[in-house]
Amino acid sequence: MIRIIPFFLLIFFHPAIYSTGAGENIPDSSHKIHPGYARLMPKVIAVLPMDNLSLEPDVENFLYDEVYNRLLSKGYIRISVESVREKMERLGIQTPGQIAGISPQKLGKELNCDAVLIGQIDQSGTIHAGVYDAVAVSCSLGLMNCADGELLWHCQQWRAAHRQWSLDPFNAIINTFGHENASRKDRVAWLVQEMMKTLPEGPVRVVNDDLLNQAVEIQTEPAK
């Protein structure tokens, strides 16, 4: 079943949140790598549509773009965005949640890849609780082996930013306005940067060359 483990830790009750300091960012994360990763290491990866469990629109697209763009530097060949979109339409996938109904083996055959990278935004938004105020974002990523469905790598990351304790009503209004207008894209980009650091280096050696960049993004062949 292709569905990454939900980020079940309710961020509002995490003890690390209850700290003082304006503009302070305290990240937290967890990740797991399959013990046989060196043997099972994929070469070709398809990044699948990301899910969004938050109330903020479009953050799943930020997550997808950041993961796709950073995957190249980790040493993996990527299936092109256009090919993935085309295959999802062919399989009747309209929402990311429907991907769970398709076997890893079928995905690998359709997308002509060794593994699929799946993910979701678990939370993105502003928390208000009296004098407490924070912008919080959390997401999860997982790399699934198409041959046997094994989870090769899984990472969860959250960030609570711009926390302040303030009893001044005027300052509270200013702080709230500033927090809610913080860049959602930048929040997600920071998390992906930290998460991708935990993904093992792939087998493809990448140099700063436009021709090579083109060579490590491929189109899928029709499934036979």
Nearest residue to 217 via CA among 115, 104, 82: 82
Report the number of distinct structural domains present in the chain.
1
pTM of the full structure: 0.73
Q: Residue 131: what pLDDT?
A: 52
Tokens found for residue 181: 């207008």
Pairing type for strands 115-129 and 51-52 reads parallel
In a domain? residue 175: yes
Q: Which residues of the chain register pLDDT less than 50?
A: 1-26, 162-163, 165-168, 170-181, 211-212, 214-215, 222
For residue 8, tell me if it sits in a domain.
no
Flag whether 2 is in a domain.
no
Do the domain assignments include residue 1?
no
Q: Which phi and psi (to 5°) does residue 123 adopt?
A: -155, 140
Q: Which domain holds residue 193?
A: 20-203
Q: What is the CATH number of the domain that holds 27?
A: 3.40.50.10610
Classify residue 193: in a domain, yes or no. yes
Instruction: Indicate whether 130 belongs to any domain.
Output: yes
3-class DSSP state of 43? coil
Q: Is residue 56 part of a domain?
A: yes
The Cα 213–Cα 38 span in angstroms is 24
| Residue 136 resides in a domain | yes
